[in-house]
């Protein structure tokens, strides 16, 4: 593993996060910088004609944050990536590549010659003679856009991966039983199943923080910015505003919680193991007052807000500055922790 400083960059649909890490021994990293700024609305996928502006914004952000590292690991938005678990007979890594070459098209919504894909072995069962691999594919155009934005900002992309892969590395200990990670962002809620520290199933639900704000806006007849402010400040605290915020957000939260439940049930039904009873929550919406308690009850799982800094060394000022904003940085930290 290289000991070079590296940057994890997570360009979300609302917020861009950047984390600079330096390896500091086995499974430990020193946090150099953590910074965030508003994204162009819709993120990269929503702004194909606006890529130059992204580079300019990244250059400014790096300068202001005092970031020196130039090697970048970036996240592709979960919703733009196809992640599939493929069952194969036991074979070598080269054979897996060859086998997938012929199958990849059936798992992705675009022709194989316009896609970039890679795989990771997630399970080998010598008794049954079978194995499972996670196949991850994205459009070449999207990957090229990320590489080009970073290059224009003077950065070198050394790896790209999915948001959920990064989060699971940052905050799910390998000793955990099979559990969920739930990233409630702005446009989407990403749900992953993690087994022995490894992501084995991934899904995107296109409902998250933005839908909560809009629900408050229309239900209470408020300006969008005020609805956002209420959501962030009072969240699901039913003692505030006569419980109207909870009432307004409830239908949206029901969609999110029932899709999370379905994801867990689907996974359990496919893998005749025990049900999943544990979940880690992250993403901006994890910071909403009473969110973790409400979601835990609605999904019927023990749930806690994940700490992305658990494997990092932070000095006192960093601890104070980041005390409450951990949920924003799960993806960026996990990216920075990847082997390069
Ligand atoms: N304290 C808070 N309470 C409630 N919501 C919050 C709070 N802080 C941030 N948010 C919400 O979190 C969302 C942004 O979170 P995050 O940065 O994880 O999203 P993103 O990565 O930009 O979006 P996506 O992952 O969907 O592309 C916004 O909807 C914002 O309103
Ligand atoms: Mg996000």
Q: Does residue 189 form part of some domain?
A: no
CA of residue 122 relative to chain centroid, distance: 19
Rounded to 5°, the CA angle 153-154-156 comes to 105
**Ligand nearest to the CA of residue 39, numbered in listed order:** 1
Q: What is the pLDDT of residue 167?
A: 97
Q: Is residue 195 part of a domain?
A: no
Residues 114 and 235 placed together within one structural domain of the fold: no
Q: Which residues surround ligand 2, an ion (CB under 5 A)?
A: 12, 185
Identify whether residues 56 and 124 lie together within a single domain: no
Closest ligand 1 atom number to CA of residue 188:
26
Helix, strand and coil content of the chain, in percent to the nearest 5, comes to: 40, 30, 30
Q: Are residues 129 and 143 in the same domain?
A: no
Query: At residue 193, what are phi and psi to the nearest 5 degrees?
Result: -105, 130
pLDDT above 70 as % of the chain: 97
Counting from 1 in the atom list of ligand 1, the atom nearest the Cα of 190 is 25
State the average pLDDT for the chain. Answer: 93
| 70 located within any domain | yes
Q: Does residue 168 form part of some domain?
A: yes
51 and 156 together in one domain: yes
Tell me which residue has its CA closest to atom 25 in ligand 1: 185
96 inside domain? yes
Q: Could you give the CA distance from residue 217 to residue 211 in angstroms, rounded to a whole number? A: 10
Q: How many CB atoms lie within 10 A of CB 310?
A: 12
Neighbours of 290 (CB within 10 A): 14
> Quick one: which ligand is closest to 15's CA?
1
Q: Which of 9, 11, 14 to mutate to test the pocket of ligand 1 (most atoms within 8 A of CB)?
A: 14
Distance (Å, rounded) from C-alpha 251 to C-alpha 175?
35
Query: Token digits for 85?
Result: 């678990």
Mean pLDDT value across residues 326-336: 97
Please check whether residue 184 lies inside any domain of the structure.
no
Q: How far apart are CA 233 and CA 288, in angstroms?
A: 8
In this structure, the residue with its CA closest to atom 9 of ligand 1 is 284
Instruction: Provide the 8-state DSSP code for 76.
Output: E
Q: Are residues 236 and 109 in the same domain?
A: no
User: What is the total count of domains within the chain?
Assistant: 3
Pocket test for ligand 1, best of 209, 216, 322, 325 (most atoms within 8 A of CB): 209
Domain membership flag for residue 179: no
The residue whose CA is least distant from atom 12 of ligand 1 is 284
**In a shared domain, residues 18 and 67:** yes
| Residue ranges lining ligand 1, Cβ < 6 Å | 12-15, 39, 43, 77, 185-188, 208-210, 228, 231-232, 235, 283-285, 287-288, 328
Helix axes 51-65, 140-152, angle to 10 degrees: 50
Supply the range of the domain harboring residue 298: 209-302
Distance 75 CA to ligand 2 centre (A): 9
330 to 13, 280, 283: CA distances (angstroms) = 15, 11, 7
pLDDT of residue 188: 96
Indicate whether 217 and 130 sit together in one domain: no
Domain identity same for 73 and 86? no
CA of 95 to the centre of ligand 1 (A): 42
User: Which ligand number lies closest to the CA of residue 324?
Assistant: 1
Residue 115's CATH number:
3.30.1490
Same-domain pairing of 87 and 226 = no
Q: Tell me the C-alpha distance between 157 and 152, whole Å.
A: 11
For residue 163, how far is its CA from the centre of ligand 2 (angstroms)?
7
Position 95 in a domain = yes
Q: Encode burial over 169-192: b for 16+ CB neighbours within 10 A, e otherwise.
A: bbbbeeeeebbbbbbbbbbbbbbb
Tell me, in angstroms, the distance from the centre of ligand 2 to residue 185's CA: 5
What's the pLDDT at 1? 62
The residue nearest atom 7 of ligand 1, judged by CA position, is: 232
What pTM does this model have?
Answer: 0.94
Q: Per-residue pLDDT tens for 260-292?
A: 999 999 999 988 677 899 999 999 999 999 999
DSSP 8-state code for residue 124: E
Query: Strand 189-195 to strand 6-11: parallel, antiparallel, or no bridges (unpaired)?
Result: unpaired
Question: What are the tens digits of pLDDT across the range 15-60?
Answer: 999 999 999 998 899 999 999 999 877 677 677 777 888 899 999 9
60: CATH: 3.30.420.40
The span from the CA of 279 to the CA of 192, in Å, is 10
The reply to whether 105 and 132 lie within a common domain is yes
Domain check: are 156 and 72 in the same one?
yes
- Each residue's pLDDT tens digit, 151-190: 999 999 999 999 999 999 999 988 899 999 999 999 999 9
CB 16 within 8 A of CB 335: no
Strands (E) across 126-209 are located at 130-139, 156-162, 179-184, 189-195, 198-205
Report the residue among 285, 292, 334 best suited for mutation to probe ligand 1: largest number of ligand atoms under 8 A from its CB.
Answer: 285
Do residues 116 and 36 both lie within one domain?
Answer: no
């Amino acid at each position: 593993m290289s000991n070079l400083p590296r940057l994890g960059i997570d360009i979300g649909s609302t917020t861009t996060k950047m984390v600079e890490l330096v390896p500091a021994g086995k499974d430990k990293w020193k946090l150099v910088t953590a910074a965030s700024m508003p994204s162009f609305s819709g993120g990269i996928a929503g702004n194909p004609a606006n890529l130059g502006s992204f580079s300019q914004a990244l250059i400014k952000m790096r300068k202001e944050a005092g970031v020196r590292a130039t090697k970048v690991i970036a996240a592709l938005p979960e919703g733009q990536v196809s992640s599939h678990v493929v069952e194969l007979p036991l074979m070598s890594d080269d054979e897996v590549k060859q086998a997938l070459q012929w199958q990849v098209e059936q798992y992705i919504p675009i022709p194989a010659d316009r896609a970039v894909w890679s795989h990771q072995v997630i399970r080998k069962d010598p008794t049954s003679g079978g194995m499972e691999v996670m196949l991850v594919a994205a459009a070449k155009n999207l990957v090229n856009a990320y590489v080009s934005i970073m290059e224009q900002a003077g950065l070198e992309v050394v790896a790209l991966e999915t948001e959920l892969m990064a989060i699971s590395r940052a905050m799910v200990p390998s000793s955990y039983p099979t559990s969920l990670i739930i990233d409630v962002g702005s446009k989407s809620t990403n749900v992953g199943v993690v087994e022995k520290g490894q992501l084995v199933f991934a899904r995107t639900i296109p409902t998250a923080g933005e839908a909560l704000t809009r629900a408050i806006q229309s239900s209470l007849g408020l300006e969008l910015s005020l609805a956002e402010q209420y959501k962030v400040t009072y969240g699901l605290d039913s003692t505030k505003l006569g419980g109207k915020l909870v009432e307004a957000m409830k239908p949206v939260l029901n969609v999110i919680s029932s899709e999370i439940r379905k994801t867990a049930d689907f996974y359990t039904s496919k893998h005749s193991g025990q049900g999943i009873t544990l979940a880690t929550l992250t993403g901006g919406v994890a910071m909403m007052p009473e969110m973790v308690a409400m979601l835990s009850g609605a999904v019927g799982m023990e749930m806690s807000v994940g700490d992305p800094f658990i494997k990092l060394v932070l000095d006192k000022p960093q601890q104070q500055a980041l005390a409450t904003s951990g949920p924003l940085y799960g993806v960026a930290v996990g990216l920075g922790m990847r082997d390069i």
